[in-house]
Amino acid sequence: MFGSVLIANRGEIACRVIRTARRMGLRSIAVFSDADAGAAHVALADHAIRIGPPAAAESYLAIERIIAAARRTGAEAIHPGYGFLSENADFAEACAAAGIIFVGPPAAAIRAMGSKSAAKALMERAGVPLVPGYHGADQDPAMLARAAAAIGYPVLIKASAGGGGKGMRVVRAPADFAAGLDLAKGEARAAFGDDRVLVEKYLTRPRHIEIQVFADRHGNVVSLHERDCSIQRRHQKIIEEAPAPLIDETMRAAMGRAACDAARAIGYEGAGTVEFIAEDGAFHFMEMNTRLQVEHPVTEMITGIDLVEWQFRVAAGEALPLSQERIARRGHAVEVRLYAEDPARDFAPSTGTLARLRLPAESRHVRIESGVREGDAVSVHYDPMIAKLVTWDEDRDGALRQMAQALAACEIDGVQTNLGLLRRIVTHPDFRAASFDTGFIARHEASLLPAREAAPLAVLAAASQCWLAAQPHVPDPADPWSPWATRTAWRLNGARHQDVAFAEDGTTHHLRLHLQDAGRFRLESGGRAVAVSIATGAEGAQLVELEGEVTRLRAAWQGERIVVFTDGVRHALVPVDPHEATGEAEGADSRVRSVMPGKVVELAVAAGDSVKAGDLLAVIEAMKVQFRITAPRDGTIAAIDCAVGDLVEDGAELMAFADDHD
């Protein structure tokens, strides 16, 4: 075994790899860009080397800089993590040329699977079942359109070089093919610098089931069973589990064999994943990812195997530690990817500082993989994943119960997150009953992405207490240290009650508080009056009692806002003058704003154009994903306030509607 490893990655996966390296007695070396000088992975490693500016192309993707860092620190091996250079055959070769062990498959195996088109051709020859489609070299648009017609609509256009759900477009009718092709190619060019595509039959109710394989250089190839990753948004996984519900032993064995055949066909070594799409009991090869997968922890939880340890052993030339029969499958594991993104705005990435970040405690049932800490920034430069939460139990129901509780314990402020969405999915009756496919989120959008709920009374009560505690402090002679001493101020003012208003997402809550005692007041809101009593619970939580019901929550000032967390839900309340007229800013509706920071890559309208609600106005690109900005209503565009190529902030005004009063 080698004695040191450089991790050519960042975030949670860098931290994950470092932990196993440490357990195995390997010296760990991190690399970082200027944006990550204070990042968790840098703090965790034994050594860390700066490799360049924030842009990934000049740091985490810069092969020479990473090799130079390895040379400088005497690293004997390089683990690429996932993403970045993990599936880059040139990088694997550069490592070999520098005499450094690449913890991954041989460059030739990476190349064989690097293009989805070429991989499909190869698998066809190896007898692995494929999704019907065209994966040839001819890229003439008219020819691709004819291929699509021959396959039969709907079809899926995919970037051959694709990954992460990027460069993929579903086309439902021939008339939309040309536009879909342009979008897919545009995204593919931006993300992979390669705009070749393939066209496939688009299956309408499939499941994504993949097999984790492992191979060594002594001819052993095993399957570490399957994962179901069907819960996806924008074709990217957000919830994964192992084993896959509702597959029987026959199908499991057949898929395992097909995956091992695929690995053998390309002389594979190390960890790899063969992805299949399954529908009506049949399964078809989609692609092989020649690296460690984001969702590998669910496999670790049911097999008890540390996949990173196996990667190190195989890379060092050892044989696989276990034969196929000895690979266990115990219980059920679920992983969710907690992202800084806004599900209500088409999952646009959300950037900002993690003003608060509390994740559940780890236990036998709960595992947390995160690469950020409270106070860290989620920037535009990298993937906006905050953490992966993984739960395990003896059966699926137990693992999902554990997950619902784990999600309820999360407190995140400073960025938008998909926490509420994840929570609603894992508690959804259809998901609980294992009745789902890759269209689950889209189909249940109405119930999974409900409009934000207005703060319930218990939340308003906790916010009121925070607000009261911040009022000018006049000591109560009876209890000079009590924050409730403010009541003295009220008495001095001759007031029996205090009016307060909290603004929340366009609504204003008007409250009247009648103070009684320390921690007790009456709260009037919307014609209701209730007695409130607040006590301190474990870990500084507030226990708010309203009419005999106690709610556990946590409320604190964050700048000008009072943020209240309860049961995995966050409410941000801004105290406003209760006597000021309410009502939203005038004319807000006439402006079209960017839903995220990014680059304007297309303007579909010009000043003077009239548009219908839903028409495409502009395309914004961020983190290599393109977002369509559509018209919120019918009207005429009065002015355009941006140009193609502009970098815009979240909320920046892109264009304005004419004030055509209706």
Residues that bind Mg ion (CB under 5 A): 275
Closest to 9 (Cα-Cα) out of 103, 105, 83, 88: 83
- Range in contact with ligand ADP (rule: CB under 6 A) among 30-38, 232-240, 493-501, 564-572: 232-240
Residue 490, classed as helix, strand or coil, is helix
CA distance 23 to 41: 16
Q: Regarding beta strands 498-504 and 653-657, do their DSSP bridges make them parallel or antiparallel, or are they unpaired?
A: unpaired
200 binds, among Mg ion, ligand ADP, none (CB under 5 to 8 A by kind): ligand ADP
**335 lines the binding site for ligand ADP (CB under 6 A):** no
Contact 357, 386 (CB under 8 A): yes
Sign of the dihedral defined by the CA atoms of residues 152, 155, 159, 160, in that order: negative
Nearer to ligand ADP (CB atom), residue 101 or residue 274: 274
Least distance (Å) from ligand ADP to the CB of residue 366? 20
* Gap between the Cα atoms of 47 and 31, Å rounded: 8
Contact status, residue 458 vs residue 543, Cβ threshold 8 Å: no
Identity of the residue, 41 or 237, whose beta carbon is nearer to Mg ion in the bound complex: 237
The token pair that represents 159 in the structure block: 């970037």
Choose between 338 and 513: whose C-beta lies nearer to ligand ADP: 338
The item of ligand ADP, Mg ion, none sharing an interface with residue 162, based on CB under 5 to 8 Å by kind, is ligand ADP
**String of contacts with ligand ADP for each residue 195-224, x by CB under 6 A:** -----xxxx--x-x----------------
Alpha carbon 625 to its chain's center: 13
DSSP for 541-607, please give it: -EEEEETTEEEEEEEEEETTEEEEEETTEEEEEEEE-TTS---PPTTGGGEEE-SSSEEEEEE---T
**Cβ-Cβ contacts under 8 Å for 580 (sequence gap 6 or more):** 501
CA distance 259 to 505: 49
- The one catalytic residue among 16, 291, 337, 367: 291
Q: Which of 30, 29, 26 lies closest to 10, judged by CA?
A: 30
CA 231, chain centre distance (Å): 12
Q: What is the 3-state secondary structure (H, E, C) of 317-354?
A: CCCCCCCHHHCCCCCEEEEEEEECEEHHHCCEECCEEC
Binding string, 367-396, against ligand ADP, x = CB under 6 A?
----------------x-x-----------
Q: Which of 104, 114, 163, 331 binds ligand ADP (CB under 6 A)?
A: 163
Residue selected from 47, 235, 396, 432 as contacting ligand ADP according to rule CB under 6 A: 235
Which residue stretch of 94-102, 284-292, 554-562, 618-626 sits at the interface with ligand ADP (rule: CB under 6 A)? 284-292
Per CB under 6 A, which region of 44-52, 156-164, 401-409, 506-514 contacts ligand ADP? 156-164
Q: Which is nearer to ligand ADP, 200 or 411 (CB)?
A: 200
312 binds ligand ADP (CB under 6 A): no
**Residue 151 interaction partner, one of ligand ADP, Mg ion, none, beta carbon < 5-8 Å per kind:** none
Using CB under 6 A as the binding rule, whether residue 411 contacts ligand ADP is answered as no
CB-CB contact of 261 with 194 (8 Å): no
Find the shortest distance in angstroms from Cβ 212 to Mg ion.
13
Quote the CA–CA distance of 210 and 258 in Å, as a whole number: 11
Cβ atoms of 14 and 7 closer than 8 Å: yes
Shortest distance in whole angstroms from residue 419 CB to ligand ADP = 17
Residue 145, token pair as written in the block: 């359109």
CB of 383 to ligand ADP, least distance (A): 3
Q: Residues 68-103, buried b or exposed e (16+ Cβ, 10 A)?
A: ebbeebebbbbbbbbbbbbbbbebbbbbeebebbbb
Say which entry of Mg ion, ligand ADP, none residue 208 contacts (CB below 5 to 8 A, set by partner kind).
Answer: ligand ADP
CB of 203 to Mg ion, least distance (A): 14
For residue 228, the minimal CB distance to ligand ADP (Å) is: 10
Residue 329 annotated as catalytic: no
Q: What is the DSSP letter of 20?
A: H
Partner interacting with residue 16 (select from ligand ADP, Mg ion, none; CB below 5-8 Å by kind)? none
**Strand, helix or coil for residue 301:** helix
Given the rule CB under 6 A, which of 234-242, 413-421, 593-601, 607-615 is the region that contacts ligand ADP?
234-242
Interaction residues for ligand ADP, span 4-63 (CB under 6 A) = 11
Nearest distance from residue 622's CB to Mg ion, in Å? 21
Which residue, 115 or 350, has its beta carbon nearer to Mg ion? 115
- Residue 394: count other Cβ atoms within 10 Å of its Cβ: 10
Q: Which residue is nearest to ligand ADP (CB)?
A: 83
Edge-to-edge strand list for the sheet holding 168-171:
133-134, 197-201, 155-159, 168-171
Residue of 135, 225, 233, 237 interacting with ligand ADP (CB under 6 A): 237
Closest approach of ligand ADP to the CB of residue 296, in Å: 8
Task: Enter the DSSP assignment of 55.
Answer: S
The residue (of 316 and 442) whose beta carbon lies closer to ligand ADP is 442
The binder of ligand ADP chosen from 105, 106, 162, 360 (CB under 6 A): 162
Phi, psi (rounded to 5 degrees) for 245: -70, 150
Size of the site for ligand ADP (CB under 6 A): 32
- Residue 335 interacting entry, from ligand ADP, Mg ion, none, C-beta within 5 to 8 Å by type: none
List interacting residues with ligand ADP (CB under 6 A).
11, 82-83, 86, 131, 156, 158, 162-165, 200-203, 206, 208, 232, 235-237, 275, 277, 286-287, 289, 293-295, 383, 385, 438
**Residues acting as catalytic residues:** 291
